[in-house]
Amino acid sequence: MAEECFVATWIMKEVPRRVRWPVVGAVTIVVSLVLAVPPVLAGALDGSSVTVAMAGAPPLMGPGHHGAAGGGGNSPGGTPTDGSPVADVGPGSTTVTYCDEDGTAETLAVDEPTPLPTGAVPAVVYVHGGGWTGGDSSYAPSSLVGQMASGIVAKGWIVISINYRLAPRFQWPAQIEDAKCAIRFLRAHAAALHIDPLHIGAIGDSAGGQIVALLALAGPGAGFDVGQYGDQSSAVQAVVDLYGPADLTTSDWLRSPVVQAVAPDVFGTILGPGHAGTSPTKSLTAASPVTYVGPDEPPFLIMQGDEDRVVPPDQSEELADRLRAAGNTPSLVMVHGAQHEFVTADGGSVTPDLSQLASDASGFLIRSLAPPGS
């Protein structure tokens, strides 16, 4: 009974303000799994935000953004096309509608420094987690993402956090399609948003980590660049991936019953090898960031809890290994004693602690995105 109450609370927390699960059915499905595993798994998939900053440039083939199996992609360049109704954004936080797919107008929040930049500055985009089914663009100032965002805005740069379409109403790949449309939108309106289109980074946690990894790795050949602002690039120039899934085809996912509970609503199947005797679907391969790894990728900082039972640590290790094998130099930080979202089983601290992780991540983004000579 204690487990049932815990899971019901988690389900209600995850129900986003824009989408409503069939709550009773969801609780039934998840309770049947949670009764067989430690209750901490049920609360682990709570969802975080991703800060997304974008700048304007048409898609050009080049390093760092690959198609269906690696190889050429698109890099930012060219001139922003500010001709739309987006007015110049003032200091503080402003909510803007970016793309409208399937009749769903999605929004993003732009956090500008005070005073406003006198010219174009780098930007960082936050993409939230929540198992592709929940969460929104908000984050607490004291959270890991909130601390990162504060450090970036204090630098005089811009932080953008996006909402995107959620399952089960909108199955994959709606989520990555929206994130890419958001980047293209921001590039199309870079001048009004004071964004340097050549220097955009992304932060994502959990499902958002998978999405930002795809922003960096999957180019137009992957088929995710659909919808508005098609003359703009959706590439990003640096990534902070917080415990994001990297390979949805591996048997690791058999150890993650919470993720398996939501996967059919998102991907139409369970993750990993599927049922006995079946192979992973093409959609799971296409949704896996490791599918697109090639040479000359943008800088990656990957942070992962070593006791995570929602997104297994093997996922982050595999992504880092694939990047290194292709000649890249990612940084992988294993957070000791940390479960999903860097919480601990006993409520204690993790190593490194959250303030150090936030400082390291914001410092990484500032180093990676700073224009030459700045």
* Mean pLDDT computed over 260-286: 84
pLDDT band, very low/low/confident/very high, at 87 (cuts 50, 70, 90): low
Spatial distance between the Cα atoms of 243 and 303, rounded to a whole number of angstroms: 6
SS3 category, 346: coil
Report the half-sphere exposure of 23 (CA within 13 A, side-chain side).
13
Distance CA 42, CA 12 (A): 12
Q: Has residue 72 got a pLDDT over 60? A: no
Rounded Cα distance, 164 and 138, in Å: 12
Collapsing DSSP states into helix, strand and coil, what is residue 56?
Answer: coil
Domain positions in the chain are 1-43, 45-369
Nearest CA among 185, 196, 141 for reference residue 163: 185
Work out the widest C-alpha separation in the chain, in whole angstroms: 61
277 pLDDT tier (thresholds 50, 70, 90) = low
Q: What is the 3-state secondary structure (H, E, C) of 164-230?
A: CCCCCCCCCCHHHHHHHHHHHHHHHCHHHHCEEEEEEEEEEECHHHHHHHHHHHECHHHCCCCCCCC
Give me the CATH code for the 45-369 domain, please.
Answer: 3.40.50.1820
Task: Return the SS3 of 269.
Answer: coil
Q: Between the CA of residue 95 and those of 100, 106, 284, what are the distances in Å?
A: 15, 10, 33
pLDDT in tens, 119-171: 999 999 999 999 999 999 999 999 999 999 999 999 999 999 999 999 999 99
Enter the pTM of the model: 0.80
Give the CA-trace dihedral at 322, 328, 329, 333, to 10 degrees: -30
| Dist CA 213 CA 13 (whole Å) | 26
Rg (CA), the chain: 19
CA-to-CA separations, 158 to 21, 87, 120, 201, 353, in angstroms, rounded: 34, 16, 10, 10, 25
User: What is the C-alpha to C-alpha distance for residues 26 and 42, in angstroms, rounded to an integer?
Assistant: 12
What tokens were used for 9?
Answer: 């609370």
For 113: left if phi > 0, alpha if psi spans -120 to 50, otherwise beta; the answer is beta
Which tens digits make up the pLDDT trace of 355-369?
Answer: 999 999 999 999 999
Given pLDDT bands bounded at 50, 70 and 90, which one contains residue 275? Answer: low
Mean pLDDT of 329-355: 96
Q: Kindly give the pairing relationship between strand 60-62 and strand 73-75.
A: antiparallel
Least confident of 33-42, 62-71, 218-227, 347-356: 33-42
Beta bridge partners of 104: 101
The whole-number pLDDT of residue 373 equals: 82
Q: What is d(CA 328, CA 299) in angstroms, rounded to the nearest whole number?
A: 8
**Which H/E stretch holds residue 364?**
helix 354-369
Higher pLDDT, 219 or 72: 219
Tell me which of 49-63, 86-100, 335-349 is least confident. Answer: 49-63
